[in-house]
Structure 1
Amino acid sequence: MPSWAELPIGQVVRLDADPDAVALALDPLPDDAPAVVTYFAAEERSVADLAASVLRELDKAAIALFPAWLPGAEGIEGPSGVNVAAVQALARGRASVTGHFGPFLAELARRALTGGLSGLAPEVRAAGLVRVLADSFGRARLAVLVRVPDGLGTAARDVLVAGCEWLAHRGRAGVWLAGAPLDDDRVRTIPAPLPAPLGGVPEDIPPAVPLPGTADRAPAVAYPPVAGRPHPGSASEQALEAALSSRTWAGGRAWNQTYRPGPLAVPIRVDLLWERERCVVEIDGPDHRAPAKFAADRQRDVLLQLDGYAVLRFSDGQVLTDMDTVVRQIGQFLRNRRRAEG
């Protein structure tokens, strides 16, 4: 079985694994893995349409992750002329020492502050976005994990494979397909480097109830968080950080940290951590009701608890609709821990 580092870059392959198991194995990103962005494919009429869809979603991710890919731009916010000039100068300077294409990076930095669409060619954008997204996570390479939906017809499968080949070649990204079978001779199937399966996966978990108005808004792309920041794609993490920022008792918190229970243990990524108080806060979206993820959550909670951590779990819905209660309960726990420690 290959390691994550041995999976091909610049090619399209199909992973012989359940996509949910792959997602669990990549959270947190293994040390030897490239940065991985997940694209939830839909039926497209042409290769050009698919390429446009992928680039649009990768572009959104890059803008959301700003300034992780542009060192020195931290704290520069707002579309003023001074700010735009500052980030463009930083982008040109970074391009001159890293090999990024300067005009692309400068344009992306400007759009991170002002919005708007790119005027550059798709081939330029593909190569630039792949490098920027890899940089955001401190990795030299990027893979796009494409989740293939069920029910694609022959023509749609041909479009998907051809579009993925375009992205792999133009962007120099690894493109890893997972999900529904493709039955396409152009794509070879390889094993995924997954850990041993979890035991005791429950099968009777009730389905998650989506927030009002969100049932049909599945994201087209997903990507890891950047350590130290709320996930830019998570409205609940952003909202909780905004609520905590004005509370003096909330000091010492750290978002999206990787914790290793022991030297040989599998690392655990936690949403929000107070290390001194040994408190972990997790915010669960509907995907946490899937049996494999539910079981993985229970296992990691036990490992954290055995190491002295309390794990406080809230749903997206609780955070977004009853913030006062969530903040009050977190604050009560932290104050109790601090009193107990003297």
Structure 2
Amino acid sequence: MSDWDRVVANSPDAPAVVVQRTVGSASQQATVAAVLDELEATAGQLFPAWLPGAEGITTSAGAAPVAVRRLAVAHAAATAQSGPFLADLAAAALTGSTAHTRRHPPEVRARGLARVIAASFDRPGCALVLRPPDHLDEAATLALAQAAQWLVDRGRLTVWIDSDSPYGIDSPPRATEPPRAAASPPARPRREPRGSARPTPSVVGKPHPASRAEVELEAALARRSWAAGRAWNHTVRPGPLVNPVRVDLLWKRERCVVEIDGDDHRTPAKFTEDRHRDVMLQLNGYAVLRFTNTQVLDDIDNVLVLLQQFLTNRRRTGKGL
């Protein structure tokens, strides 16, 4: 486990970490705008996790956009959010249109987006890891560094730049100062998309907010004493010579991995990747149990029975302990 993973995994106050690829640009303003557009797309995919009361609104038809705007204004009044921005963001997430969100100043967008992403994972803040293209020229490197510093100073984000640029970007932050933009943080494994062209972030210790199956399974497990010791979205290194992998659900002591598979896992490429991961884990003492989203959502009682039976047997025989 890297130092960066250790901070996120062990600290209850760790931020929600978003990894974002950037494009090279010679303009600080253009770089900031591109980063904010990507953060807004992420916030849209996380909706309605960050807006209490909007869980049942799943269509943009009729009065739904008006309803989410009212919910957003009421929620902003009880938090540190900007009401007009949050209302525009909620409507954009529901309708898919960003026509109104971009009318807000960049600093309002940056602070608002950081807050809603953090709220989606019940975390106190949001950290951004920027991964630029290889071989940026000096002008693009400078623009990226300036944009990152702007996001820190004006957007109040924690920002890291994961770059091998030969021009150098900044020095790591001192512990007595607010986080600053810095080059090359320890690498974090990224989560693959769940049936979507754009991945949404997952946070160590939490079910993925965009996965209804994970959220409902965690709600059921939270009421059962035998489920103690579980951890969501943790990184596992199957062996000393094997790359680490991110698993959906883990009982570390029992060396039990549970994967919740969406429809995308039926594709030949994904099926092959899953089997390779399973073999690597099994060769190093982990048991891998796989359930589909449909099994969890339509027959969760059976899933719970199977999990309880497996964990009870594992504990009784001492396997994996």
- Give the TM-score category using the shorter length: 0.5 to 0.7
Match of 1:174 in 2: 158
Alpha-carbon distance, 1:62 to partner:
0.8
For residue 32 of structure 2, the aligned residue among 37, 51, 55 is 51
Q: Contact 2:22/2:130 (CA < 8 Å) preserved in 1?
A: yes
Question: Identity of aligned pairs, percent?
Answer: 29
Match of 1:263 in 2: none
Distance 1:332 1:77, change over 3 A: closer
Match of 2:202 in 1: 224
Q: CA RMSD in A?
A: 4.9
Q: Which amino acid aligns with 1:57?
A: E
SS of 2:90's partner is helix
Residue 69 of structure 2 corresponds to residue 120 of structure 1: no
Alpha-carbon distance, 1:79 to partner:
0.6
Alpha-carbon distance, 1:161 to partner:
0.8
Q: Contact 1:253/1:275 (CA < 8 Å) preserved in 2?
A: no
SS of 1:166's partner is helix
SS of 1:151's partner is coil
Distance 1:187 1:30, change over 3 A: same
In 1, the alpha carbon distance for the partners of 2:118 and 2:111 equals: 11
Alignment of 1:19-98 (within 5 A): 21=2, 24-25=5-6, 27-28=8-9, 30-98=11-79
Q: Contact 2:86/2:112 (CA < 8 Å) preserved in 1?
A: yes
Q: Contact 2:238/2:244 (CA < 8 Å) preserved in 1?
A: no
Q: Contact 2:36/2:110 (CA < 8 Å) preserved in 1?
A: yes
Match of 1:141 in 2: 125
Alpha-carbon distance, 1:103 to partner:
0.5
In 1, the alpha carbon distance for the partners of 2:234 and 2:205 equals: 18
Q: Contact 2:17/2:203 (CA < 8 Å) preserved in 1?
A: no
In 2, the alpha carbon distance for the partners of 1:222 and 1:182 equals: 30
In 2, the alpha carbon distance for the partners of 1:334 and 1:110 equals: 41
Match of 1:15 in 2: none
Match of 2:189 in 1: none
Runs of 5+ consecutive residues of structure 1 not aligned to the other structure: 1-19, 193-209, 246-251, 259-272
In 1, the alpha carbon distance for the partners of 2:65 and 2:171 equals: 45
Q: Contact 1:282/1:313 (CA < 8 Å) preserved in 2?
A: no
SS of 1:187's partner is coil
Alignment of 1:1-342 (within 5 A): 21=2, 24-25=5-6, 27-28=8-9, 30-117=11-98, 118-123=101-106, 124-181=108-165, 183-184=167-168, 187-190=170-173, 223-225=201-203, 229-232=207-210, 241=213, 253-254=217-218, 276=226, 294-295=243-244, 304=252, 307-308=253-254, 310-312=256-258, 319-321=265-267, 327=291, 334-335=305-306, 338=309
SS of 2:218's partner is strand
SS of 2:172's partner is strand
How many residues end up aligned between the 2 structures? Answer: 265
Distance 1:35 1:340, change over 3 A: closer
In 2, the alpha carbon distance for the partners of 1:101 and 1:281 equals: 34
Match of 1:9 in 2: none
Distance 1:173 1:291, change over 3 A: farther
Q: Contact 2:43/2:117 (CA < 8 Å) preserved in 1?
A: yes
Runs of 5+ consecutive residues of structure 2 not aligned to the other structure: 176-191, 272-288, 297-301, 314-321
Deviation per residue, 1:225-280 (Å, 9 max, x gap): 49775453xxxx67xx4xx99xxxxxx8228x99xxxxxxxxxxxxxx99747897
In 2, the alpha carbon distance for the partners of 1:318 and 1:140 equals: 32
Deviation per residue, 1:179-225 (Å, 9 max, x gap): 425644x7222489xxxxxxxxxxxxxxxxx99xx9xx7x6x76224
SS of 2:63's partner is helix
In 2, the alpha carbon distance for the partners of 1:64 and 1:173 equals: 20
Deviation per residue, 1:69-127 (Å, 9 max, x gap): 21222222211233222221111111122131110011111112111012423423222
Q: Contact 2:72/2:87 (CA < 8 Å) preserved in 1?
A: yes
Q: Contact 2:206/2:232 (CA < 8 Å) preserved in 1?
A: no
Q: Which amino acid aligns with 2:202?
A: P
TM-score scaled by structure 1?
A: 0.59
Q: Which amino acid aligns with 2:243?
A: F
Q: Contact 1:281/1:313 (CA < 8 Å) preserved in 2?
A: no
